[in-house]
Amino acid sequence: MAADVDPKGVRPAYSLPAVTVDVVVFMVRGRALQVLLIKRRSPPFQGYWAIPGGFVEIDESLDEAAHRELAEETGITGAYLEQLYTFGDPGRDPRMRVISVAYLGVIPSDRANVVAGDDASEAGWFSVQNLPPLAFDHSRIMECAIQHLRRKIRYTDTGLRLLPELFTLSELQAVYETVLGEEFDKRNFRRRIFQSNIVEEAGGFRTGEGRPAKLYRCRAGIQNEVRVTRLFP
Amino acid sequence: MAADVDPKGVRPAYSLPAVTVDVVVFMVRGRALQVLLIKRRSPPFQGYWAIPGGFVEIDESLDEAAHRELAEETGITGAYLEQLYTFGDPGRDPRMRVISVAYLGVIPSDRANVVAGDDASEAGWFSVQNLPPLAFDHSRIMECAIQHLRRKIRYTDTGLRLLPELFTLSELQAVYETVLGEEFDKRNFRRRIFQSNIVEEAGGFRTGEGRPAKLYRCRAGIQNEVRVTRLFP
DNA sequence: ACAAAAGTGTTGAGAGTACACCCATGC
DNA sequence: GCATGGGTGTACTCTCAACACTTTTGT
């Protein structure tokens, strides 16, 4: 339910938890799934790497807070963000009770240039295969995010949001293979993508080594749920 | 990230949002999907029906808060609860900023006896087809919960948690049909249940009208994910 | 014996999987 | 002309969906 004011008066401040957002943003570069971290420049966990995030302001929504903190601390704007899970165990921050609403985000590699902000001495991308020790309970949040991304890319169009507006089918396949850590048959992959009807030809070609590849884009009006086959379809 | 203390000092109380849990508990009775509501006895929305819930105490986890508030306001204990989504738009409570972590719960109909608690003048079950106007943004939370339950029952063992320990396959089928609002072929339904291997024979029979029906129980060690077929299986 | 619910198999269609070669370009 | 990556079709297997009658009990 929404709050009832304490009948004896306004709830005292010391009994109120702080609320933060934490934003786990992924990118695929080359053949690596990478995640955005910042280096903490104040205690506790000074010098540790951490998931970007911070306090929710009193007059902004949670989504707004997630976008704002991400932009402030890393310079990243326009990422696709969605709420992941809320972590609120007492003791997860040694200083005070902090309840953190975690967000999962993805961004195309061509918009992944970071600029460290005020609260962070540094911001950078790390391969999920090779993460540094993280501050607070951020390893747990990270595991949760990776698991969720892998699940989500299997049955929604999240894979497309990891690519620039125009992309080739080989690039798309590489994204899926990188995130999921398995390889797919080229012909079956293409058949599935076409059947699911999430892309359309953009008209151009990408040249380079070998035969030029057709460019595709995300079909307009694609919602999130591409397809799920279930216990009871 | 977890919190950084405001460099200028402790964050003042007026800028801290309150944190609550809201618990949407479902039950199937007869051929109706029902949800547990309480009647508010103080303003705002005095006399309106609302989703049970309340403040998170400073030293309890979110899960604990959800179970505690549910027990305090409705007398229901031992429900299966899981976190659903966190609703935190400014203005969702007219008095103050309230961020609410919503939980989804299910309970067998034989444990659904309610006892109204302190904060509620009444507690009762309502068919989701026929809900009263709800307080705050609870209609939105309710929609989200119903949608999530319908999705979840399709690919996990949530259906079993809506039944007593022992049940017949016809009762199980009735639960699925009630929650999803569609009918299934009896032979195909049974084949699916057996293939997914989530139940085992309990050894007894339920008698009544017609031929007695074998009793089943949830197989030990069943986790949540029964099966998902995906874009890339 | 009849009413009421339980239980049981088969067939056809569609989706998933495995698999190998030709094509268009740059150098 | 050759190296490089792009692009295409088919056969087999398995899963899903549609469909009707027999069995066991209570009255």
pLDDT digits (tens, 9 = 90+) for B5-64: 443 334 455 589 999 999 999 999 999 999 999 999 999 999 999 999 999 999 999 999
A11 lies within 8 A of chain B by CB: yes
Minimum distance, in Å, between the CA of residue A219 and any CA atom of chain B: 17
3-state secondary structure chain A: CCCCCCCCCCCCHHHCCEEEEEEEEEEEECCEEEEEEEEECCCCCCCCEECCEEECCCCCCHHHHHHHHHHHHHCCCCCEEEEEEEECCCCCCCCCCEEEEEEEEECCHHHCCCCCCCCEEEEEEEEHHHCCCECCCHHHHHHHHHHHHHHHHHHEHHHHHHCCCCECHHHHHHHHHHHHCCCCCHHHHHHHHHHHCCEEEEEEEECCCCCCEEEEEECCCCCCECCCECCCC
A56-81 average pLDDT score: 97
- For residue B83, list chain A residues with Cβ-Cβ distance below 8 A: 85-86
**Cβ–Cβ below 8 Å for B51 and A176:** no
B173-195 average pLDDT score: 94
Helix, strand or coil for residue B180? helix
Active site (catalytic) residues of B? 122
A181 lies within 8 A of chain B by CB: no
Nucleotides of C under 7 A from a protein CB: 3-10, 16-20, 23-26
| DSSP designation for B134 | B
Amino acid at A17: P
Identify the pLDDT of residue B141.
98
Q: Which residue is nearest to nucleotide C15 (CA to C1')?
A: A192
Residue indicated by tokens 């029979």: B205
Active site (catalytic) residues of A? 122
Burial class (CB in 10 A: 0-12, 13-18, 19+), B4: buried
* Contact between residue B196 and residue B176 where contact means Cβ atoms under 8 Å apart: no
The count of CB pairs under 8 A between chains A and B is 202
pTM above 0.75, yes or no: yes
* Contact between residue B39 and residue A174 where contact means Cβ atoms under 8 Å apart: no
pLDDT band at B229 (very low <50, low <70, confident <90, very high): very low
Tokens for A91, please give them.
């003791």
The minimal CB distance from B232 to the residues A38, A154, A232 is found for A154
**Is the shortest CB-to-strand distance from B130 to strand C under 7 Å?**
no
- For residue B191, list chain A residues with Cβ-Cβ distance below 8 A: none
- Nearby residues of B85 by Cβ (< 8 Å), 6 or more positions away: A83, B102, B141, B144, B148
pLDDT band at B230 (very low <50, low <70, confident <90, very high): very low
**Is the shortest CB-to-strand distance from B182 to strand D under 7 Å?**
no
pLDDT per position as a tens digit, A98-157: 999 999 999 999 999 998 776 667 999 999 999 999 999 999 999 999 999 998 898 888
Minimum distance, in Å, between the CA of residue A30 and any CA atom of chain B: 21
A90 lies within 8 A of chain B by CB: yes
**Cβ–Cβ below 8 Å for A232 and B180:** yes
